[in-house]
Amino acid sequence: MNSRLIRNVFRDPLVDGEIPYVVLTPDGWTGDETLPLIVVLHGANSSSEFLAMMQPIVEGMWNDGSLPPCLIAGASTPTTGGFYIDRPGNAWESLIATAFPRLLEKEYGADPARISLMGASMGGYGALKIAFAEPARWLAVAAVAPALLPASAPEDLRPRNTLDVLAQLGSEMAGEGGGFAANSVLHRLRNNADAIRAGGLPIFLRCGDHDTFAMHDGTEQLHRTLWDLDIGHEYHLVYDADHLGPEAVAAQRAALAFIGAAQRRAAGEDRTAADRELEAAWRDWAAGGRQGAPPKLDAFGVSASVALRAMLEPELAEAARRDETTLRRYGVLPQE
């Protein structure tokens, strides 16, 4: 599939000056078809031209079907000092969260009901912060090696977590837009946990365990908090992988595949009519008192989860009666 990169600029009262942006469109796109949108937030010392580096990855995934046809777009924020933080006169978070998607809906036919967020490093921080603020707006969020500072206040940060531009991030989080907590991904997660959990926002996290900037510290903290709050998510901690290098390519591909799966679920394309019929048969069998022979078990098909729970329904019900944590997605683990 041959994609097309469109480069343009726009202006918005939320920030000063022109904002360059790039849109990656699939083969045959004419602008008449409404498509899902992935907004890509670039990292520090980068720009919307990051999409040009992503283009071969995206084309390969469009060709093999692991990513459905969609629009992928990114806007350039300041290479340092933007940080997806709202400041007086330069509200970069609000620009990416509201103004930029509106532009893409108006000019490129992006579907406002099917917008996902994706970012790496500083972009991962921005994507998670925006997604957790209004979880109902987004189809999915994927963060690769996100710049998450594992502390409740900037003075609690360790030197390992404030290398290079991360020290500036900590200072700007504390000084702008309501202070450190208001700009903290964890703070937003905890404040909106009920809405995130109830809406089932698909969340993807991935980081190497040898990240030069120790991004895995904050990513692990976020994973554990999501677990404790019983919020579903996918988490990859990659052995011996660093911030850049081959892992950066593999991580982008994994994040796009996760969003692609969310797009297929939203479109009802994650299972065939036969899969749905088999799931319905297992539910009917359970509802009918589990009488007679059970339906066919497709152990490797998407119906397997429904079948397994139908077979174990009495034991699950008894476990829930004796232990309310049975109803949680994640168990409450003992504290040593």
Q: What is the pLDDT of residue 152?
A: 82
Domain definitions of the chain by residue range: 4-266, 273-327
d(CA 66, CA 254): 10
Tens digit of each residue's pLDDT, the chain (336 residues): 579 999 999 999 999 999 999 999 999 898 888 999 999 999 999 999 999 999 999 999 999 999 999 999 999 999 776 899 998 889 999 999 999 999 999 999 999 999 999 999 999 999 999 999 999 999 999 999 999 999 888 888 899 999 999 998 998 888 866 788 889 999 999 999 999 999 999 999 999 999 999 999 999 999 999 999 999 999 999 999 999 999 999 999 999 999 999 999 999 999 999 999 999 999 999 999 999 999 999 999 999 999 999 999 999 999 999 999 999 999 999 887
Query: Concatenated DSSP letters for 97-166?
Result: IIIHHHHHHHHH-EEEEEEEEEEETHHHHHHHHHHHHSGGG-SEEEEES-----SSSGGG--GGG--THH
Q: What is the pLDDT of residue 30?
A: 87
Can you give the length of the chain in residues? 336
Which CA distances in Å does 301 have to 128, 184, 222, 279, 297? 32, 40, 31, 10, 9
Take residue 246 and report the two structure tokens written for it.
Answer: 């081959």
Domain 4-266 has CATH 3.40.50.1820: yes
Residue 225: strand, helix, or coil: helix
CA atoms within 13 A on the CB side of 325: 9
Whole-structure pTM value: 0.96
